[in-house]
Amino acid sequence: MINGSDYCQRSGDPDKNVPIIKEDIVFVCDCLPEYYLDNKLGKNPLLDKQLGKNMLVDTQTNPKDKIWIYDGYLYLDDNMNNIFAPVMDLTIEDFNENDKPSLSRKYKFVTFNHKPRLHRIIASSWINQNFDNNEYFYTAGFNVEQENLRDHLPFIDNLYEGLPMKMIGPDPNNGITKDIFVDIFYPYAKDSVFNIVNEVGFWEYGCHLSEKTFWALLSHNIPIVSGYAMATSMERIGFDMFTDIVDYTSEFIKDPFERTYRLLNDNKDVLKNAHNILTKDILKRLEYNKTLLLKPDISQIAINNLNTPDMVKKLKEILYNNITYMTKFYQGEHKVLIK
């Protein structure tokens, strides 16, 4: 089992000395690691080095001979033996599943951001440039100017001033409690029409899924979620991505900077008009998404819908023939996802 976010280079050249994975079956938890970001590179050389890369696969001598199981991704366009097994079982204390969505909302959109990922920096700038601060609610654990994050973006022209740093609740670096969503974020989210979710995936041709997207669905928000193939992948599971309202034509753009800007710009007018979008029919669709997410077998539904029958068969063989993997995967709490 590999924790993708902790998978790092050993020493010397930051893009070398990466350990070789000897196992035939690899569980990849959380997000993928990123290659070292060289600030001295211009946009095109940087894109050539980073685009579509998966360090875990790129550094292996026989990646196609391994089975790669991802718990945080819905799709990766790398033609490997990928099995997508997103952990979608939710345990949230004191969450009222019977809360009904309201037609009246204070905010046009919310967006919750902690670490300064590249598309979050772009979104911070774009929101500050295009909306008045009374139109939305946000959190940001970074400030573009104060932390010199502009130094990481020489390939973006005319980056507008980012939003001021603003955090609510406890420091997320100290650990996320089960009830932080209900106590801290839910009151703001449920009072918003849209939720701009800046998921982790940026460089890779794939889409990451985390609690941020779950929170949008639980809060009866119309999600606008970043990530390559994100809308299509969520629809494969069975979720309504409101593609009749939200423009996701940008989701397969290879350049992540263009993809992020396009997703935001293509939906600027929709966000501006947010308070006129909600109807009783829209509320029913929002309720459908929450109900689907809260199904006891949602992880099984996702696995069956995201993978080919052959890959589901392989996953069954792995689960039933080697229980050690799943015991480690769930940190000692074994669960059977496929019946």
Instruction: Assign 282 a pLDDT band (cuts: 50, 70, 90).
Output: very high
Task: Identify the H or E element spanning 192.
Answer: strand 192-197
Reduced 3-state DSSP string for 44-84: HHHHHHHCCCCHHHHCCCCHHHCEEEECCEEEECCCCEEEE
Rounded mean pLDDT, 118-147? 90
- Given a cut of 80, is residue 333 above it in pLDDT? no
- Given a cut of 70, is residue 6 above it in pLDDT? no
Instruction: Assign 97 a pLDDT band (cuts: 50, 70, 90).
Output: confident
| Domain spans in the chain, listed from the N-terminal domain onward | 2-87+296-329, 107-293
Residue with tokens 């920096």: 121
Q: Could you read off the pLDDT of 173-202 as tens digits, one per residue? A: 666 566 789 989 999 999 999 999 999 899
Question: Average model confidence (pLDDT) for the chain?
Answer: 86
- Given a cut of 90, is residue 208 above it in pLDDT? yes
* Closest by Cα among 57, 60, 81 to 69: 81
Residue 233 · residue 201 · CB < 8 Å:
no
Q: How far is CA 116 from CA 35, 49, 101, 129, 147, in A?
A: 16, 21, 31, 18, 10
Instruction: Assign 72 a pLDDT band (cuts: 50, 70, 90).
Output: very high
Task: Identify the H or E element spanning 306.
Answer: helix 298-306
Residue 69 · residue 25 · CB < 8 Å:
yes
Specify burial of residue 138 (Cβ count, 10 A radius: 0-12, 13-18, 19+): buried
pLDDT for residue 9: 47
DSSP code, position 159: P
> Which tops the pLDDT comparison, 143 or 247?
247
Helices 280-293 + 211-218 axis angle, to 10:
140
> Which tops the pLDDT comparison, 256 or 49?
256
- Given a cut of 60, is residue 13 above it in pLDDT? no
pLDDT for residue 68: 95
Q: What is the dihedral of CA 304, 86, 246, 181, to 10 degrees?
A: 140
Least confident interval from 31-45, 74-88, 246-260, 284-298: 31-45
Residue 182 · residue 169 · CB < 8 Å:
no
* Closest by Cα among 194, 244, 242, 245 to 220: 194
Find the radius of gyration of the CA atoms of the chain: 20
Q: How far is CA 139 from CA 56, 106, 153, 165, in A?
A: 31, 16, 21, 7
CB neighbour list of residue 4: distance below 8 Å, 6 or more residues apart? 28, 29, 30, 31, 32, 33, 56, 72
pLDDT for residue 337: 45
> Which tops the pLDDT comparison, 21 or 78?
78
pLDDT for residue 46: 79
Q: Angle at CA 17, nearest 5°, toward 11 and 19? A: 115
> Which tops the pLDDT comparison, 69 or 56?
69
| Bridging pattern class, strands 73-76 and 107-113 | unpaired
* Closest by Cα among 95, 71, 258, 253 to 178: 95
- Given a cut of 50, is residue 11 above it in pLDDT? no
Q: Angle at CA 257, nearest 5°, toward 199 and 3? A: 35
pLDDT for residue 22: 85
Fold of 107-293: Rossmann fold (3.40.50)
